[in-house]
Amino acid sequence: MSNVAKNIDTLLCFEKMRVSHSEKNNSLQVNVMSVFMATKRIHNPVTNKYYELRQRSTVNGEAGQIKGLWSSKKKARR
């Protein structure tokens, strides 16, 4: 099986999971949906091209390093 076919197979598998669990377990649906949402694209209808939309990410340890100019009292007490 080619890599492309494997990827399609994996996506179809996720889709089946999403459908089968959508009514029984909402949280599982959200988790599986996030797999589909990982790569978002902008479609250009004139040229029929897609541009990958870069996501702001916490993967490289950036979470929590952004500080506002002020913090809420609740946060300050922690």
Partner 1 sequence: MANTGTRWCIDTNTLVPWLITDSGVLDLLIKKYGIPSDFRDIYLNRHQHSIDFIQRIIDLKSKGFSDEFYFSYLAINEVYSAVRDEIRSILLFKNGTPLSRWSEEKNSLDLPEDSMKTVYEDIENKFDVLFGNNTIIPLSDEPEETGDNFSEIVASLIFTFKRVKTQDAILLTTAISIRANYFVTFDKRLISEVSKELDEKYQLHLISPNHGNTLLKKVKL
Options 1-9, 11-19, 20-28, 65-73: segment touching partner 1 (CB under 8 A): 65-73
CA gap 10, 1 in Å, rounded: 12
> 4 or 61, CB closer to partner 1?
61
Cβ–Cβ under 8 Å, residues 20 and 29:
no
Query: Does position 40 bind partner 1 by CB under 8 A?
Result: yes
Q: Which one of residues 4, 5, 56, 78 is an interface residue with partner 1 (CB under 8 A)?
A: 56
Considering the rule CB under 8 A, would residue 27 count as an interface residue with partner 1? no
Q: Is the dihedral of CA 47, 6, 24, 28 positive or negative?
A: negative
